[in-house]
Amino acid sequence: MKGKSKIALVILLAAVILVGLNVILVEHGKIAAEREAREEERLKREMLEEIKLEEAREVVEYYLEFEPARDEFIKETIELSEEMESEFVNIDRIKELVSRRLDAAIAFRDKFLMIESVPSPLETFHDYELEFIKSDIETIGLVLSYYDSESYSTYNSSILNELYLKTGLLYQRAEEELYNVCRQYEMRYLFE
């Protein structure tokens, strides 16, 4: 019996060791899986950060190409508006100023369309800005046709008022979208 109990004890001891070894291997596997999952998560975060940095670089490059054209357009628009308001002008002078304003809008559109690559974060802004520019050209074109008509009393100014309102809203929507993208990429300094 002593021999059988020794064998039973050895078998029991082997079973305990095997169960313990199995537990250790399972726990080691869990630890390795957790470590692997953490490493995979870290790599994903790094990859997303690299993508975000690349997108941010593209946004800045786009903005640096877009900003001078927009600033020139805004400056010229303000100067023409001030010129119209600051002096008593006749119809011919008004036509000239409105025509110059239309030329400024067309020049801005042409420069805007020359920007070759639009980064994906700015695609919506690009669409909104293009809508604004087209609406602005249409509005100023309508103003010019008003002054060219020489029949001011029969002209329907409500269409012009609607276009002015629409153009202003499109400008605001484009600016808000640009600001949101710059805020998302922590580049609000571009608006300062």
pLDDT at 106: 97
Instruction: Show Cβ contacts of residue 164 under 8 Å, excluding neighbours closer than 6 positions.
Output: 139
Task: With a cut of 70, say whether residue 191 has pLDDT above it.
Answer: no
What are 63-82's pLDDT values in tens digits? 989 999 999 999 999 999 88
Cα gap 18→172, rounded to integer Å: 72
Confidence of residue 1 (pLDDT cuts 50, 70, 90): low
pLDDT at 128: 97
Are 178 and 184 in contact by the 8 Å Cβ rule? The answer is no
Cβ atoms within 10 Å, residue 126: 19
List the domain boundaries for the chain: 55-191
Please tell me the pTM assigned to this model. 0.74
Are 167 and 135 in contact by the 8 Å Cβ rule? The answer is yes
List phi, psi (to 5°) of 3: -70, -40
Ranges 47-51, 66-70, 151-155, 174-178: which has the least confidence: 151-155
Of 57 and 50, the structure prediction assigns the larger pLDDT to 57
pLDDT at 114: 94
